[in-house]
Structures are given as structure tokens and as C-alpha cells.
Structure 1
């Protein structure tokens, strides 16, 4: 009988466990806290009450139409229409719209803005809610943008010069090179001829009727969404939105919206582009894939797998970049959306001058290594822990989420990719239920699916400098063939089992406490002389911000040390902590929401960081280790210097850099502390001097004030047991 009961319990427990896994074929529900609907005229609306920030509302008009829909005689006019929306509507003639919003304290740019892309045009307002009329005006502006822009001949003609100047300001080296490689990237696609900025020959001379034609064709309710998120009564706002935007008439004789693809091709397309003002060398690998529009729970699980893959491949590339003699300055790989119905696997690498083949090969080898052998269980465990921690923090702060973040999510849901919006409650549930079901085999299969020999594009960009070699198309083809046949070894995950702290610090004591009523904070004085200031806030439920300051900074040194003082904190951070190199420390902290960054400024040195509530002890341990067990490694210094030299190699060719350097020098009245960093001044950085500066600036915690702000539990912070006592620098 006991065996039978135990057997039944086992079955029921197994059933309970199995029931936790959601139906992968089920459709992802829309966030129940949001009112979403479609009016009779076809316009979509999203309304959500959200109280962060207080007394503010985010308003958006999203138009599912961009430069890709322009006729040949309209290239640039989608962007032109965006500009004209600010130059006169039925209820806000000429410049009255901007003038009104500025009169109530709104600033053009941060709070009044718009942008045009290939596939969309988006208008944004951040409206104060001090008065109900401000919100009414904001909704009226969205209404006017959607259907009442005047596009007068006079205003169109005046705006031509404004757009031309915007175009001129974007004609730097990167823009010039992009014009050369974009037709290869978008080969045989409409996108190649529809950059949003357009053709200035069209902008300068098009008849005003062409601008009005674009607006009449594509600014219509079935291609528009109104998004309203903010600190208001949601039920009342839904009614206001329905009443106002239902007045837009149904568009008659509407033009059919075409769909444009990016054709796939056999093999690999290659384009090498140089420019004398380019400041760095780079190589980009793109592998195009059809967009997979999957709004089921299984699709959400697939998206989680993509994030895990991206995290793990980039952790490997970051580890390589931190080696003493790295083959590249920076590299990154990821899978994500491109334009229209196209996804792309991309690998980007910034290389040392003349070393593009070496840098590109290193990244291709890492891609191939994943394809051949996959990732390791330890890598997957860390990536899962980091993703779960990030989601847990987001969930804990779900009631303090910024309105703009929610509005942007609705915008992505409305546009072509139809990003699901289940809400953070549901997303956190999915993470807890789906993450354990994702196996190493699941993620490894992605590399075999994504890394294909067809639909590939390789783009090389580099400075046009005499004596600096740039690979040819044939060189790139040869390199790709070499990687395809290379004998690659599996990745070895070097992980330390050592504890973060070699020994627990001796607890300090609080020798005095006092209130700071002006800012509603407390100050503790510790037995080592350090001051600790704590202020509890409710801006976020799961965040604690941290700063520490000590007197001194680089002002206590001679100007001849300026390069070494500039780099000292960075080298210390790049070296890791205690017995951990920087890559090993990253692995040790996987799943922890805690970070600390040292700095040395003009008259202070210190730290800045943050953590979740549960990881505040880890935060304090990191601070402790910077005082008690720091690292300043020669290998980290060498790696940093190699990368800096590459970044500075052709910087002088950039007009923007020349202007910035000159401005800083003149504005400082030619201060010896403000010298442009060049390859020559870079040589002044001295490892031994950096080591001595770090020891000098971060040896005595008693000189520091430690400041914690956030959702703090004061009792748990006492007695500050992980804040360092007065200790010698232990190298």
C-alpha cells in the first residue's frame, strides 16, 4: 500500500511539474493592463496609465510608412513630410505648434521630436500634466499630425534649405562609405534606393504636390497608431482617445501598400570601401534570413534562445579582446531584425590598422567554433543566470517602469514585426517556466541554422592611408575558404571556484550616527574614519545606487602625469580584482546585479555603481576588494595600449576630432591638463606610474564618503561589515 501511495505521489508530482510548462503553440496574450483597440476608421490605439514619471504623459503617433514607400519622384519626401508636420496644421498654423509647447516648458528634441525610417515615421511628445488643457492640446496635435497637416507651398519651399543642411551635416566619412556599400548589402532590393534622407535633387526641386501626394497616400488611419501612456485616469483617457480620433474619416480609394523584400543570393557578396577621413578599420559579416513572425509562446521561447546565444558568443569575443595582444579592438555578433521582413546574423569587428584579415578571421573562427562544437554547459548556466536576474529586477520594478519604455514597446507591436506585449507579469512567468526547458542542444542548433554559406555579405571599411594595406575581394574570399576548412579546437571555459573574497573582512563599527534633515538622509561615521551616507527612496523598488568620493584626484600630480592619471582607473578595472582576471570576474558575477566602476577626476577619486536589493552585499564586497585586493596587471595595460593605439591611428584625419580637440584646448585656456590624446602622447603612459597612482589614490578608505541611495534596508546595511577598514594596499 505504501509503495502504491508513493507511486501515485510520484505520478502526481510529475504531472504537477509538467503542468508548469506552458503550451508552446498558445498565442501570447496582450498585456491586460493596456487598453488596445481598433476604431471603425482603422486607427489603432494603445492607452495605459503609468505613474513614472509622475505628472507626465508620453504621446506617440506611429505611421506604418517610411521612405520605402516613396515613388521615384519622392525620394526624401517621407522625411520631408515629417519636417512639415511641425510647420503648420489646421489648428496650429505655421510655427505655432512648437511655440506653444515651448511656452509650457517643453523642449524641442527631448520632449518634442520625430524620426523617419525605411518602414515607419514616428512622432513623440512628452507632455506635462499640470493642467488638463496641456493634455488636450497634446491629443489635438496628434490628431492634426494624423490628418490635418497643411503642407502649404510657402512652408514647403522654406523647409527645403533646412533639410538640405541636415543632409550636409551628415556627409561624413561613414555616410560616404555607406553610400558605396549599401547597394551591395541591399542588392536587387528597393531598400538600396530609399535611404530616408533621400536625394537632394528631389528635395530641392520637387513640386509641393509631390509632398502632399505622399501624405495623402500613406498618412491614413489604417496605417496609424495613437499611443498614450502616462499619469492619468486610464478609463477617461480611453474615452477621450476614441472620441477624438474616431473623427478622422475613413480613407477613400486608398492606395494598396506594397511589400518589399531583400532578395537572397547564392554565395557571398563582398564590398571593400575606403575613405581618407575614416578613423578606424572594420569588417562586417551579414547573413540574411527570412523574418520568423511567431507570436506564440514557442516563439517567445525562441526569442529567449536568441538572447542566450547572443550573450554567450559576445562573452567569448569580449574575453579575446582582453588578451594581452588581441587580434581586434572590439567585436560583436548577434542575431536580430534588419528591415522589413528580413532578419540578419551579424558579426562586426573593429581591427588594428592594416590588420583587417587577422581581426575578421578571429571572429569567423569563433562563429565556426560555435557551429562545430556549440557552447558549454557552464556558459549556458551563466547566461541563464544573468538573463533571469535582469528579468527579476525588471519584474520587481514593474510599477516604476518609465512610460517611454512602455510606449516604445507598443510602437514595436504595431509595426511590421508585431513584437508581443504580454506585460512584465506574464514575461516573468514565461522566464521561470521556459528557461529551465532550454537545453544546450537547443541553443547550439541556432549556429547551424544561422551560419550558412549563402546570403552572406562582407563589408570592409578602412581609412585610405598610404602604406596601410586593405584586403581585396579576392583576399576576403580566400580568408572565408580558409576558415571553412580550418581545424578548430573546442572552447575551454576557464572558471575559478575560488570565493569572491579570499577572507571575510573584520566587521567595522559605527562610532556615530546623525540625521541630515535637509535631504532626509542618515550619516554614519565608521571606526576607520569613513563616512557612510544613506538615503531611502522609492523611485525604483529593486535598485540601489552607489557613489564614493575621496579628496585628491589628478590635481595632486604634475601635468607630466596626465596620461597616466587618465588611464589609471581604467587599467585597474580592466585588470580584475583579487585572484580574478576581468573575464574571470565577469564569470564569477554572472547572475549578480552589482557593478562598481573606479574613477579619478580633477579633485576626487572614487567609485560609482549600483545593485539590486539582494545583491547589495556583493556590491560592497567589490568596493572592499578595490581597497584590499586590487589588481593592476601588465597584461591588461598592454591590451589597453594596443587597442588605444589602434583607435588613435587615423583620428587626426577626422574633422570632427580636430574641432573637438581644438575647442577643448582653447576653452581650457591652454591648460597643461587638457592635451589632445595622440599616438605620441599615448607613449607617456607608464605602467609603473599607473600602479603607483592607483595605490596612492585607493589605499585609505578612511578618506572616503560612501553614499547609498535607493530602496535601502538600513538595518541590513549595519554595521557596514563589507565596507573596508583602514588597510594597506595588498598586491
Structure 2
């Protein structure tokens, strides 16, 4: 059964980067003690009367889904879903992945995915992309595909779907499955793009992931497989060999078509039957190969030495994966396992926050590629002492295996899981069809069912009523999930260390009993423990500032402005955003500041005397959150909540400004995280772009530049406080509340929180101009420490900014879309030099300057000149010749459809209206948006190209491998 446990970490944490997320607050609910158990009646009908997904299960079928099987074996699941309105999300799953390949076919499943998308007997070379663009589909997001170890999934989110567009799309998709173009011309065109995709993968992360997989699944096919494939096998592929692979595996009985969208399910079934019903397989259907079982006698440890990657430790308890009937009882027992995992994660996070030996550690339980059931543990040490971090994490795990948790600890986790499930039920009517389609495909892949949110909740509530979640049961679950056929571990030592394997093996077997320390129970915390605010503020003005939708401005006596949009379009959800001060305009432009650490440390630093741990306890079973970010012209606190929690949500945010906490540990952790991740940013062209591009494109402005290692090391808790305290205490405040609450509720809640603050002094602003770098005749050259076949090339032109010129900014979005389409066709589809070249436009509304249009390509080092030649040729042609009506339509239609879909949600209107309570021009610009995009003409696009794609103003950069720097290049 596919259910989500709020707060669980990503499955099998094979490290692909170092990210420390700002802690999030859990979901809305009440404590389990007072809940009446929901009744769940097992489905005892014979399998012959059950939908195909539910055979062998007693879980009640999800009534919203309609299941069926065509005579040729194609299975399908369809349902009606109106979120977003008009969209139909289609998924076609083929039961073939890299685990089905023989040694000479490594990468064929992925190569075939590319070729199928490129062309078929129904739609010629790249024609499906153009057809879907005219229907408003954005290539790469609305239309995409993925190949995993066990399946290939084709995805299409069709906006403003009609019977005709559904019919055409199903015809194309069926043609891709049954009759893809597999001739020599198509193979020669697409194979370089696949090899480019392989080349662009980040080296250290891939090396760590591959080494981990080889260790964990030693003796099994998964150990030496990767969906991206093997270069020799891909280069040796012929039309005949790829055709043989296709004909063997692309068969109707291995296909599942999933559709969730805003059309009658009967129409969806008819379209599937019409276009997939005649598909026939040749010969006998192949058997899925045996994926093996974990081998006890294989090596237990491995090491790698990547200097530009943190000294990460990953370990796992490996058990065989077996197909079990997905029953109610099975899921309830698995829920106990998940509570045990959550308890350990809670204890690990508590240690990390307090300044322990590790920055981050997490545990997850997962079935991996139908090869093993794995409890995976990932550890990022605080510094280079990975042995101490491993010992401390193992001590927490061993403690969980030997000593039962308290009932209070269990109840806290159960309460939060229950909260998340109740929130899922409350918001189920606004769950996007794309998410529902993806979940169905995932369930099919691992042989599970999909239960409705109501059924999932009832199963969990029944487990609570039957007292499944006791100290004894959770202890037994801990012993089970932290055991297996083998315990294996791998560490990146950064530098070769011959002693590391023996040390790691000894550390795995070392006795850590009693080293976890005494468990400390938290005292009770309530909102009464927050610092008090003043009396509720008085409303001094109220007016409707936008009529469609109706957004109202409310002014309070202390200078706080409220923008509100009460509506029930997203049932159960209320979005809150608090914009204060002046954002980047308030940060000094002449020296490095601790601004960079705000996103990591500001929220965890606490409120009043309450630290993050206590705030987690305070809000654990409620829908109350706090995220922080910096916008061009404001700092922002934001959250998603409910009408029932709105009062306390706003009170928490207001108190964060009025009386922030200054716990030093999150600042120390932020510094350690930044230092640990720093060298990783040198390991690939993408990493160097992430580190340096924002600063370089603003001529080194320290507000956007990544601080040096030395500057990071200088960060202290006092310095952090000295910088952020005046920012939190000064400058104007705009509160946005959009969603499922009444106007009276919103005004009252804001009045009691932000309206109760003392009037704030004006904040100092920088008003420093944002400089674009001077035109260069030869590219700026940077270097990376990664693979020698990786490089990046970039070209950018300055544009503008400010709401007064927003029409130009919107026109530049269209120009960038056309530019990207041409660069994609020429650099990827024709030359095969880059997998994912991109072109983007940025027009900051909150700043008068700083905009840019930018093209980036990840290429081989000897292809950078080709990138610049093609980019400049495209730019010159856009200046010299108006685009065709069809090309303009293919650029504008996806933008228009995106706006239609996005505008059905509250976050869209919040983004468009932000700052509008102080600057009416922001609100006025909303009404012009449709015309700014939809009435754009080829002449308008050409005029923008002439104005901004000026050769004498462009700035270029290349990022080359370090080996070329040593060679003097």
C-alpha cells in the first residue's frame, strides 16, 4: 500500500550532494488519545472479483480509480481529477529497466526511451515535441520519461485537454511504444545525446553511488547495473540490436497505462482501448529475470577516496526482498517499523543539533529495486573524524535495539504520523492528478496497492485502537529493522588510506553499548511559553485592490499591511507569507556578511527562549511551519497552515520578528555544513556554476557571491546575531494570507499577531546599483576538479528590472523559450553535444536593474566553441529575422497553459501580488499579464532581440577541467 509517513527521509540515502534543510514543522492533527478508531472492513472477495492491482490484498479498492485489462494484456487505471483544471496526466509504464539487460545491452532500456520520444511511425523525427508544444506542453517538464532499474515510464501532462487533444496524444504515445523509429539515422542522432547525459553526471557523486550499490548488493545483478548504461555497449548498438531489445520487452502484457485528469473516465478508457488495444507482441513473453538475494559472505566494507566530496559514511542492514500480499495487517506491522525508524531519526537529529560528532544522520527503510529490503543509514561527520560519527550513530541505533522507548516518545511520533494522514484526507480533493498518476506507477513497480487517504488513515487508526504502538512492539521492530543478512558500510576517506577498510570493519563490530547517553524527556511546552505580544492592532483602512480574483488590502495602525484572498479553491490549505524589510537591498554591497547563513540557521535559532527542539514539540501535531528566504526587495517568512491553526501560526511568525531566539548551535552547524560542502562545489562544472555564477553575473557583488572558505570560517554566533537582529526588528511588514479561511478569521488573526507589534523603525537600504560584468572578447575561464571530459559554457546579455518594465520582462520569457528551443534542436538533437542546454530570462521586479538572458550548455571541453558559435548564430538570426507564427505559438502556448494551471492555486496569486500593498504598480501589473504574453507578435519578439541580444554587451564564461589549467589552457 502506497502511504506517506510525514517526516521520513529519502529512501536509501546514497549521497548525491550535501544539503542540510531548514527543519520543517509537521502536519495538522490532534493527538491520538482522543481519536475514535475508524472502521476498516477487509475486502474478502475472491481475486477474480478484484481489480488487478488488488489481487491478493484485503485492502478495500480505491473507488476513484477505474481498473481494466485489454484482451492483449495492457492493464490500465484511470480516474477523474480536476487539479489543475483541464489537465490530463498520462503515464505509460513498460516493465523493463536496466536489470533486464544482458552485458552487451547495458543502457539499451534508457537509449530506447530516448529513441521512442524522438520519433515513431505516428510522429516523425522530433515531431511529437512540436505537436505537444502547440497544445501547450512544456518539453522536459510536462513531457518527459525516466528509466530505472526495473521500469521505463513515459510521462505527459496535457493541459486544457479536449477529446481531440487526448486522442492525438494517445495515438502518439501508443506509436512510441509499438513503432518507434529505430533506424540508423535516428540512432546516430540520439546516441550522442545519451552519451552526453552520461558524461554530464557529477563524478564524485556517481562514484559514491556506484561503489555503494556494488557493496550493498554484491552478488546480485543490481550491483553492477546503472540505467545510464555502458559506453562500449551504447557505441556498439545497432538498429537491429536495439530493435531486438524493443521487441522482446516492449509488449502489451508488460505495459500499464495510467491516466488521471479532468475528463470523463469513460473517455479515458475509450482512448486507451482505441490506441493500445491492437498492439501485439511477437513470440513468447519473456520472464522477468531473477534479481537474486543478498549474499551473506560478500565483503562487508568498502572505501573510496574523493577529495572533493565530504567524508560521508553510508551503511545498511540488508535483507531479502520478497513479494508479500499487501494486506491490512502487513501494513499495520510496517507502520510499527516506521515508528521505530522515526524515533531513531528524532534522536539522531537531536544529537546533530546539539553540536555532536555528526552534522547530519538519517535512517530510512525501503524496498530497493525488488532486490533487497534495506535499512539505510547516511552520516555526514562534523569535520573529518568519520569514526567518531559512526560510533555515535551506531550507539543510538544499538540503544534503540536494547532499550524500549517510552510511551510518551511513541505517542509523539504516532501523533505526527496521524497528523499527516488527517491532513492528506482534508486536502485530498486538491491533490494534483500528476501526483496521483506517479504514485500509481510506483505502486505497480513494487507490487503494492494504492489506498485512498481515508482508507490509509483508517488502517492506521485501527492499529492505534488495537494498541500496536507499545514500547514492546516498537522495541521488537527496532531489533528487526536494524538486523539482516549483512551489515555493510562504505566511507569516503577523501584521500587514500590503506588502513581505512580494516578500521571501518572494526568500527562496525565494536561494542557501543551504553555509549548513547541518557535519554532526556522534554518538558511540556505550550504556546503560552512564547513571549507575549501587545494588544490586537486596530484596522485603519480596507480596500479591494484586485477584483479578479478579489484581493483585499487591510492596513493596521502600526504600519503593517495585509493582503488577503479568502477562497476555498484548495480545501483545507491556508498559505501565509510575511515580507519584511528590503531583502537584498538592505544587505551591504561592499563586504561579505552572514546573510548566506540565514537560510540554514535563522529559523532553527528559535523564538524567545524556545529552541528548535522545543518548537518541534510545540507544533508537532499541528499544521504550523516556518521557512525563511531572501527576495530582491524583502526578507520572507512563510508557511502552509489551516484555518484552525492560523492564529497560532501567525503568532509564531510575529514572535519570531519581535523576540527571536539566538541559539548558537544552528550557527555553528551552518558554518560546519558550508565548510563540509565547499570542496564538493569544485567537483563538477555544475558545482562551480552553483558557487560562482550569481556573483559573477553581478560583477562580484558580495550580496550574491558565495563567501570564501575563510569568510565562512569567520562566522560566529555573535556575528550572526549582530547582523540579523536589526533586520528582524526593522522595516515595513506585509502579510499575505491566501486560502481556505474567512476574511474575518484572517483579519482577526493578523490583528492579534502582526497588528500587535510595536511600530517598526525604517530599515537602512543599500540602493547600490547591480552591475552586469563588462563585455569580454574572450570567455572568462574557471576550472573544476571533476571528470576531464566535462565542461560548461555560458553566454549572457544584460536586460533590466523593475515592475515598470514588466511587459518587456514577460516578452523576454518568450524570447528565451524560442532561443532555448532552437539551441536544444541544434546543440542536442542535431549535434548531440549537450544533453540539457538551457536558456532563461530573469527580470527582477523588486530591483531596477539586474536582469539577464542567459544560455548555458554542459559540453565536452572541445565543444565550447561550438556552443558559442551556435548561440551567437541563433541570437543574430533572432535579431535579423522575425520568428514564424508557428514558432511563436509553440513558445507562447506552453507559457499560457502554465499560467492557466498555476493560477488555479493560491501560491501563484501570492507571487504576483507580493509587495502590492506598498506598491500599487505590482497589483496593476497583474491585469496586463495575459496581453503581455498572448498578444506578443513576431515583430515584438524581434524588437526585444534587437534591443537586448547585443553582441557588444554579451558576457561569456567557460568552466574547464583542472587538467587543462595545468596545461596552460
TM-score by length of 2: 0.69
Q: Which residue of 1 aligns with 2:504?
A: 476
Question: By how many angstroms is 1:250 displaced?
Answer: 5.1
Query: Is the Cα contact below 8 Å between 2:564 and 2:736 reproduced in 1?
Result: yes
Q: Which residue of 1 aligns with 2:237?
A: 206
The answer on 1:233 being equivalent to 2:261 is no
**1:553-589 superposed Cα distances (whole Å, 9 cap, x missing partner):** 3533534553323334643312111221111211121
| Partner SS state of residue 265, structure 1 | coil
Q: Which residue of 2 aligns with 1:430?
A: 459
| Partner SS state of residue 463, structure 1 | coil
Q: 311, 320, 324: which one pairs with 1:281?
A: 311
Question: By how many angstroms is 1:299 displaced?
Answer: 1.7
Question: By how many angstroms is 1:33 displaced?
Answer: 1.5
Q: 1:698-717 to 2 correspondence within 5 Å?
A: 698-700=728-730, 703-717=732-746
Q: 345, 349, 356: which one pairs with 2:375?
A: 345
Work out the CA distance in 1 between the residues paired with 2:209 and 2:321: 24
Work out the CA distance in 2 between the residues paired with 1:199 and 1:19: 52
Work out the CA distance in 2 between the residues paired with 1:240 and 1:661: 48
Work out the CA distance in 2 between the residues paired with 1:663 and 1:579: 39
Q: 1:196-275 to 2 correspondence within 5 Å?
A: 196-249=227-280, 251-266=282-297, 269-275=300-306
Question: By how many angstroms is 1:173 displaced?
Answer: 1.6
More off after superposition, 309-318 vs 558-567: 558-567
The answer on 1:537 being equivalent to 2:606 is no
Q: Which residue of 1 aligns with 2:151?
A: 120
| Partner SS state of residue 252, structure 1 | coil
Q: Which residue of 2 aligns with 1:11?
A: none
| Partner SS state of residue 698, structure 1 | helix
**1:84-134 superposed Cα distances (whole Å, 9 cap, x missing partner):** 102321211222222221232212210111111111010001112354321
Q: 1:565-584 to 2 correspondence within 5 Å?
A: 565-568=595-598, 570-584=600-614
Query: Is the Cα contact below 8 Å between 2:558 and 2:759 reproduced in 1?
Result: no
Work out the CA distance in 1 between the residues paired with 2:99 and 2:357: 39
| Partner SS state of residue 614, structure 1 | helix
The answer on 1:398 being equivalent to 2:407 is no
| Partner SS state of residue 350, structure 1 | strand
Work out the CA distance in 1 between the residues paired with 2:724 and 2:38: 55
**1:251-281 superposed Cα distances (whole Å, 9 cap, x missing partner):** 53223332212333158610001123x3311
Query: Is the Cα contact below 8 Å between 1:309 and 1:443 reproduced in 2?
Result: yes
Q: 617, 620, 631: which one pairs with 1:587?
A: 617
Question: By how many angstroms is 1:136 displaced?
Answer: 0.7
Query: Is the Cα contact below 8 Å between 1:270 and 1:457 reproduced in 2?
Result: yes
Q: Which residue of 1 aligns with 2:109?
A: 78
Work out the CA distance in 1 between the residues paired with 2:132 and 2:753: 50
Query: Is the Cα contact below 8 Å between 1:361 and 1:483 reproduced in 2?
Result: no
RMSD over aligned CA atoms reads 2.6
Q: Which residue of 1 aligns with 2:188?
A: 157
Q: Which residue of 1 aligns with 2:671?
A: 641
Work out the CA distance in 2 between the residues paired with 1:255 and 1:572: 56
Q: Which residue of 2 aligns with 1:103?
A: 134
Work out the CA distance in 1 between the residues paired with 2:727 and 2:498: 44
Query: Is the Cα contact below 8 Å between 1:42 and 1:221 reproduced in 2?
Result: yes
Work out the CA distance in 2 between the residues paired with 1:18 and 1:174: 46
Q: Which residue of 1 aligns with 2:688?
A: 658
More off after superposition, 622-631 vs 236-245: 236-245
More off after superposition, 121-130 vs 506-515: 506-515
Unaligned runs of 5+ in 1: 1-16
Q: Which residue of 1 aligns with 2:890?
A: none
More off after superposition, 599-608 vs 720-729: 720-729
Query: Is the Cα contact below 8 Å between 2:37 and 2:461 reproduced in 1?
Result: no
Query: Is the Cα contact below 8 Å between 2:493 and 2:500 reproduced in 1?
Result: no
- Specify whether residues 211 and 27 from structure 1 end up closer, same or farther in structure 2 by C-alpha distance, changes over 3 A only: same
Work out the CA distance in 1 between the residues paired with 2:38 and 2:212: 51
Query: Is the Cα contact below 8 Å between 2:624 and 2:649 reproduced in 1?
Result: yes
Q: 501, 517, 524: which one pairs with 1:496?
A: 524
Work out the CA distance in 2 between the residues paired with 1:656 and 1:463: 20
- Specify whether residues 476 and 453 from structure 1 end up closer, same or farther in structure 2 by C-alpha distance, changes over 3 A only: farther
Q: Which residue of 2 aligns with 1:625?
A: 655
Query: Is the Cα contact below 8 Å between 1:291 and 1:342 reproduced in 2?
Result: yes
Q: 676, 679, 694: which one pairs with 2:706?
A: 676
Q: Which residue of 2 aligns with 1:12?
A: none
Q: Which residue of 1 aligns with 2:636?
A: 606
TM-score by length of 1: 0.91
Q: 1:433-582 to 2 correspondence within 5 Å?
A: 433-437=462-466, 438-440=468-470, 441-452=472-483, 454-464=485-495, 472-484=500-512, 488-498=516-526, 499-503=528-532, 505-518=534-547, 519-559=549-589, 562-568=592-598, 570-582=600-612
Query: Is the Cα contact below 8 Å between 2:583 and 2:631 reproduced in 1?
Result: yes
The answer on 1:726 being equivalent to 2:754 is no
- Specify whether residues 606 and 322 from structure 1 end up closer, same or farther in structure 2 by C-alpha distance, changes over 3 A only: same
More off after superposition, 156-165 vs 356-365: 156-165
Question: By how many angstroms is 1:530 displaced?
Answer: 1.0
Query: Is the Cα contact below 8 Å between 1:532 and 1:705 reproduced in 2?
Result: yes
Unaligned runs of 5+ in 2: 1-35, 45-56, 761-969
| Partner SS state of residue 358, structure 2 | coil
Q: Which residue of 1 aligns with 2:65?
A: 34
Q: Which residue of 1 aligns with 2:175?
A: 144
Query: Is the Cα contact below 8 Å between 2:737 and 2:746 reproduced in 1?
Result: no
Q: Which residue of 1 aligns with 2:870?
A: none
The answer on 1:363 being equivalent to 2:425 is no
Question: By how many angstroms is 1:484 displaced?
Answer: 5.0
- Specify whether residues 471 and 600 from structure 1 end up closer, same or farther in structure 2 by C-alpha distance, changes over 3 A only: farther
- Specify whether residues 139 and 18 from structure 1 end up closer, same or farther in structure 2 by C-alpha distance, changes over 3 A only: closer
Question: By how many angstroms is 1:633 displaced?
Answer: 2.4
Question: By how many angstroms is 1:344 displaced?
Answer: 0.2
Q: 417, 441, 459: which one pairs with 1:411?
A: 441
Query: Is the Cα contact below 8 Å between 1:563 and 1:684 reproduced in 2?
Result: no
Question: By how many angstroms is 1:463 displaced?
Answer: 2.4
**1:134-167 superposed Cα distances (whole Å, 9 cap, x missing partner):** 1111111221123222311221233222211111
Work out the CA distance in 1 between the residues paired with 2:319 and 2:435: 28
Query: Is the Cα contact below 8 Å between 1:29 and 1:421 reproduced in 2?
Result: no
Work out the CA distance in 2 between the residues paired with 1:435 and 1:268: 41
Question: By how many angstroms is 1:83 displaced?
Answer: 1.1
Work out the CA distance in 1 between the residues paired with 2:283 and 2:676: 59
More off after superposition, 177-186 vs 348-357: 177-186
Query: Is the Cα contact below 8 Å between 2:37 and 2:462 reproduced in 1?
Result: no
Query: Is the Cα contact below 8 Å between 1:128 and 1:134 reproduced in 2?
Result: no
Q: Which residue of 1 aligns with 2:336?
A: 305
Work out the CA distance in 1 between the residues paired with 2:484 and 2:261: 48
Query: Is the Cα contact below 8 Å between 1:356 and 1:471 reproduced in 2?
Result: no
| Partner SS state of residue 565, structure 2 | strand
Query: Is the Cα contact below 8 Å between 2:383 and 2:676 reproduced in 1?
Result: yes
Query: Is the Cα contact below 8 Å between 1:295 and 1:420 reproduced in 2?
Result: yes
More off after superposition, 325-334 vs 594-603: 594-603
Query: Is the Cα contact below 8 Å between 2:99 and 2:150 reproduced in 1?
Result: yes
Q: Which residue of 2 aligns with 1:316?
A: 347
Query: Is the Cα contact below 8 Å between 2:305 and 2:493 reproduced in 1?
Result: yes
Query: Is the Cα contact below 8 Å between 2:556 and 2:755 reproduced in 1?
Result: no
More off after superposition, 612-621 vs 40-49: 612-621
Question: By how many angstroms is 1:483 displaced?
Answer: 3.4
Work out the CA distance in 1 between the residues paired with 2:209 and 2:121: 39
Question: By how many angstroms is 1:214 displaced?
Answer: 1.0
Query: Is the Cα contact below 8 Å between 1:22 and 1:433 reproduced in 2?
Result: no
- Specify whether residues 198 and 605 from structure 1 end up closer, same or farther in structure 2 by C-alpha distance, changes over 3 A only: closer
- Specify whether residues 52 and 509 from structure 1 end up closer, same or farther in structure 2 by C-alpha distance, changes over 3 A only: same
